[in-house]
Chain A
Amino acid sequence: MAEKTNLLLEVLPEDDRAALLKTATRIKLKLGDDIIAPGQMIEVVHFPLSGIISTVNEMADGRSVEAFMVGREGVAGIEATTIPMRSGSRQTVQLDGEAWRIDVARVRALVNERQALRTVLAVYHAGVQRELEQTAACHALHASERRLAKWLLRCHDRADNDLIRLTQEYMAAMLGSQRTTVNEAAQTLQAQGAVSYSRGKVRVLSREALEAAACECYRKVSDHLPPD
């Protein structure tokens, strides 16, 4: 199997990549690990090589909703790569993997000097903003079942295989839905042959069926993902 890579790092000119990775630490992403809590200063960024980091917004009553996810196509902490920033949301590991962890002050210093790095990060950041705008509309308008299908596709895009460890409780927290609603939606997707679901594991059986069930938002926000 080929060496795992982060796609942003891959498109950088060799010397920019080397400069970034000079002080990077390769870390393991473990399901459930918190990367950062809401309101904390962003001190490090993570370029995943595999796995998923979710950005989750939490309300005062404890309910939560995922805003966006970052896999090997992106970098978590992008908003602090030009100026120091606090995180508005929680970043948490949703799928086991590995990442390059880099001090964000170091990234800022390099961004300031290197036009190519600035451009690559700006393109990614613009993509995140588009995705968030679509998601805001999606959450106001689309039914849970379509959002669940979209969300599973996005997980699957970033996962190494078809089997993803996800409890219903977790999916409900990501979608901001009731657990019973997620249960119903998952059963419908199962009846359609899109997924099989048992004991906290989702297996994607048919991407086509999932795409048919998902809202238009899946395609619209996945433009920046690499082709399969």
Chain B
Amino acid sequence: MNDISPGNRLIEALDARDREALLAQSTSMDFAQGHVFHEPGDPIDHVHFIERGVVSAVAVLQDGRTVETVMVGCEGVTGGVAAAVAQTAFTRTVAQVAGAARRIEAHRLRAVCAERPAIREIIAAYQAGLQAELEQSAACNALHRAEQRFAKWLLRCHDRVDGAAFNLTQEYMASMLGSQRTTVNEAAQGLQKSGAISYSRGRITVLDRAALERVACECYRAADTFRLSPWNSVD
């Protein structure tokens, strides 16, 4: 069942022939919160165009600590590096919020890309946006306080979910930010006090986006200028 509206913005941006060529090679899948798409070192056998939900790429260090490097929702694709050449995964790719994706075998995607420049280009635009975002994050993680980074991260989650509320434990959030749990707890309490969010028992509700944006560092806007509208970055 290939619906006309696949829900992924990259696929939607393709013209009908390219879109059909891509969809013909792909299948639909649902994924649960916590579903692992790849562990570091796994060959990237499948590429996922996300339709709903949120998927995180997480760097895993030798001591087991982790930091999220990239967040992907319906604006993007996971494993996009494998669209051009065979690759192994560098990060753990895991579902942070349950959702759905179009799943395509990486070698089939490469074959489609070899023949269809428009598909190659839209993935390249996305990957270039990702690069800009990662450059920003490298600086952000070196310079900005946990509370600012936390607010940025919540905004980015909120951008990618349907409702105002999502389920996230403090432990999980700490593992995304590379912070101590106590640090995340303090940051969450600060945001709660200012009325930006409410937080209880692993459930976060965004109450006031404007307040969150005031706390977040400039990196929130800077990254999404590229990310959420990759084609806007082109003259």
A residues near B (Cβ < 8 Å) are 41, 55, 57-60, 63-68, 79-80, 82-86, 88-89, 112, 115, 118-119, 122-123, 125-126, 128-130, 132-137, 139-141, 175-177, 216
Q: Are A133 and B59 in contact (CB under 8 A)?
A: yes
Given A67-B135, A137-B178, A139-B139, 12 further pairs, Cβ under 8 A: A57-B136, A59-B143, A66-B138, A84-B234, A118-B84, A133-B59, A133-B69, A133-B134, A137-B66, A140-B177, A141-B61, A177-B142
CB nearest neighbor in B for A58:
B139
Q: Is B189 an interface residue (CB 8 A)?
A: no
Specify which chain B residues have a CB less than 8 angstroms from the CB of A83 in the assembled complex.
121, 124-125, 128, 234
Is A216 a contact partner of B62 (Cβ separation < 8 A)? yes
Q: From B124, which residue of chain A is reached at the shortest CB distance?
A: A82
B226 engages A136 (CB within 8 Å)? no
User: Are B85 and A115 in contact (CB-based, < 8 A)?
Assistant: no
Residues of B within 8 A of A60 (CB): 218
**Is the Cβ of B139 less than 8 Å from the Cβ of A82?**
no
Beta-carbon contact of A136 and B69 below 8 Å: yes
Asked whether, in the complex, the Cβ of B121 is within 8 Å of the Cβ of A57, the reply is no
Is the CB of B190 closer than 8 A to any CB of chain A?
no
List of A residues within 8 angstroms of B233 by Cβ: 85-86
> Are B132 and A79 in contact, CB atoms less than 8 angstroms apart?
yes
Known A-B contacts A59-B218, A133-B69; the reply to A175 vs B91 at CB < 8 A is: no
CA distance A201 to B81 in the complex (A): 38
Using CB atoms, name the residue of chain A closest to B128.
Answer: A79
**A79 touches which one: B90, B131, B138 (CB < 8 A)?**
B131
Residue in chain B with minimal CB distance to A66: B138
Partner of A175 from the list B125, B130, B134, B142 (CB cut-off 8 Å) is B142
Interface residues of B (CB under 8 A from A): 57, 59, 61-62, 65-67, 69-70, 81, 84-85, 87, 90-91, 114, 117, 120-121, 124-125, 127-128, 130-139, 141-143, 177-179, 218, 222, 226, 233-235
Of A84, A139, A141, A216, the residue contacting B138 (CB under 8 A) is A139
Q: How distant is B106 from chain A, measured CB to nearest CB, in Å?
A: 12
Closest 5 CB pairs of A and B: A88-B132, A122-B84, A82-B124, A140-B178, A176-B142
- Closest chain A residue, CB of each to CB of B121: A83
- Residues in A neighbouring B70, C-beta threshold 8 A: 133
Expressed in whole angstroms, the Cα–Cα distance for A67 and B66 within the complex equals 19
7 A-B pairs in the complex with CB atoms less than 8 angstroms apart: A85-B128, A86-B233, A115-B114, A125-B81, A133-B70, A136-B69, A136-B134
- Nearest-neighbour CB distance to chain A for B147, whole angstroms, equals 14
CB distance from A152 to the nearest CB of B (A): 17
| Complex Cα spacing A167 to B114, Å | 47
CB-based contact B131/A128 at 8 Å? yes
Among A112, A125, A137, A177, residue most surrounded by chain B Cβ atoms (within 10 Å)? A137
Interface centre among A83, A118, A136, A141 (most CB of B within 10 A): A136
**Inter-chain contacts of B218 with A (CB < 8 A):** 59-60
Taking a contact as CB atoms under 8 Å apart, the answer to whether A88 and B135 are in contact is yes
Nearest A residue to B90 via CB reads A130
**Chain A residue at minimal CB-CB distance from B122:** A83
Query: Do A136 and B138 have beta carbons less than 8 Å apart?
Result: yes
A65 touches B139 (CB 8 A): yes
Contacts of A88 in B (CB 8 A): 131-133, 135-136, 222, 226
A141 to B142, CA, bound (A): 9
- Report B179 CB to chain A, min CB distance, Å: 8
Distance in Å: Cβ of A219 to nearest Cβ of chain B: 10
